[in-house]
Chains A and B, each alone.
Chain A
């Protein structure tokens, strides 16, 4: 076995911090995808997965937030059961049950949220972000997720765009509610660590 001899080129401390945070946000997104709170009646379950994309964008900015969601997708493609119902594989992302577009949407949405909230590639402290900017960033994330997800779903399942939109419509108010919860978490000082 050959051995390398040379100087060790260390990763700078700032990058190490972002990588570590992105890794844990990716793991949290994966864990939240497995959790949902059942709602009464015929309402869809209250899934916590969008929080992963929200926090990735707001805490990490566009570059590292996108990196976190890309890690989440890659780990799923590699075969770790991180998608909802413990699914995995490239096939699930590309076609699956037609919901692969929402996974890609989370990735794009995290980048959009980070770009709107921080307006540069590295994140600013959360205290510097005003509430309207945070709400705008997260509503834009929800819009992007649906803009990518619904046409994708229509194309995979062979439905008309209107049918696909009707199927997904009940989820929209729930997702907007999640935006308010996420902003409440950040404004409520629950993340003083930041």
Chain B
């Protein structure tokens, strides 16, 4: 599982806003129906990004394990037919070319996850989305991060209790209903307590913001993001 690792690499020093825009830039560039040479260039760029975040490709593959398995299966599924000749090469190759665009996007995104603390993404969202919606999204993100493990624990408790009472022998619908009801009931109880706590602590529209500043390193990354995002236009013109 990929998660933030503290460090002082180039990727760690970048502003989260430039890293977010870079990911979008790479995704757009990857999906601009690229040629093989274009794709090779993108893999080269990905290698540089992995180096900048000191993240090994092996960790990316391990982090997105199941995803890569599904990606590898896609060409096989695309080529398989339900009658003779059972396997056709053309659709399989089309799928393989499509799937080959995915790893660079995943790798760049993995570098973001590994080098950006969640509070920085929160601050970036607060700056990027103007006004009160941005503030509520930012506060909401922090609270979801706080409550996610608790709700997972709640569901685990419910499941253990069901299993202890022979739940595995019950119908799937019954189990799903019980799990959803109990999970929702506990989540709503928590939300009532959270609302009371927020009101009691004077939840306000004008709290103090964490500092964020673009450094000299950020500007080339921002320029690269724009160039990557615009690259499909250059390609279609050529």
Contacts and interface: CB of A to CB of B under 8 A. Distances in A.
Interface string B59-97: 000011111001100110110000000000001001111
A19 B194 CA distance: 9
A158 B99 contact: yes
B233 interface: no
Given A78-B121, A90-B20, A185-B184, A98 B109 contact: no
Given A67-B140, A78-B141, A89-B106, A11 B204 contact: yes
Nearest to A74: B141
A13 B199 contact: yes
A94 B184 contact: no
Given A35-B179, A79-B113, A90-B112, A70 B137 contact: yes
B143 interface: yes
A46 B178 CA distance: 14
Contacts of A24: 147, 151, 187-188, 190-191, 194
Contacts of A74: 121, 125, 137, 141
Given A23-B147, A90-B23, A158 B98 contact: yes
B64 to A, nearest CB: 6
B140 A10 contact: no
B204 A159 contact: no
B126 to A, nearest CB: 11
A10 B141 contact: no
Nearest to A28: B187
B2 to A, nearest CB: 6
A178 B59 CA distance: 36
A71 B137 contact: yes
A80 B148 contact: yes
Contacts of A86: 1
A89 B2 contact: yes
Contacts, number: 250
Contacts of B195: 16-17, 19-21
Given A24-B147, A80-B118, A159-B78, A11 B137 contact: no
A68 B203 CA distance: 19
Interface in B138-153: 139-141, 143-145, 147-148, 150-152
Interface of B: 1-4, 20, 23-24, 27, 30-31, 63-67, 70-71, 74-75, 77-78, 91, 94-99, 101-102, 105-110, 112-114, 116, 118, 121-122, 125, 136-137, 139-141, 143-145, 147-148, 150-152, 154-155, 159, 172-173, 175-177, 179-181, 183-185, 187-192, 194-195, 198-199, 202-206, 208
- 6 smallest CB-CB distances across A and B, nearest first, come from A158-B98, A91-B109, A78-B121, A158-B95, A89-B109, A97-B70
17 contacts: A13-B199, A30-B148, A31-B154, A35-B155, A37-B175, A75-B118, A78-B118, A79-B4, A79-B118, A88-B3, A95-B27, A98-B74, A156-B99, A156-B102, A158-B95, A158-B97, A163-B91
